Structure 1
């Protein structure tokens, strides 16, 4: 799968990797109208996709002061999107 390959919902492999990082607790985001995403402490190189994920309601900050950086969390919709893509245990 390349970064341009799409899942059934139309999200790229890169966007899905960003969602997985959030699900694994490795991501933070700024509390903002255009939230920036950080993975493993580093700014994500594709902030436009991070903004799209936030605006689509797939990731969100759990709260915080505007401008602060807080742990990112998956919304229920984001969890539902990743669930069929998770490897079987």
Structure 2
């Protein structure tokens, strides 16, 4: 679960919100709008590591794109194609 608090509340009681952020992200608002998130350092590291694994398709060579387009799934993974066709994703 995520909490949402004002910047003023965080300023007055930073230690408590810092402790809470170790357990769950704390969204900090300014003028009624979400502005920043206070989170555990381990969560930040996990997200930063995940960010580095992303590669834009625009950075792929024509040969790499062609290889991807002609690739086929191994028979043991056919169920993944069915999930894509039904819109059933693991992230849901």
Give the alignment's TM-score, normalised by structure 1. Answer: 0.23
The structure number with the bigger radius of gyration is 2
Q: TM-score, normalised by structure 2?
A: 0.22
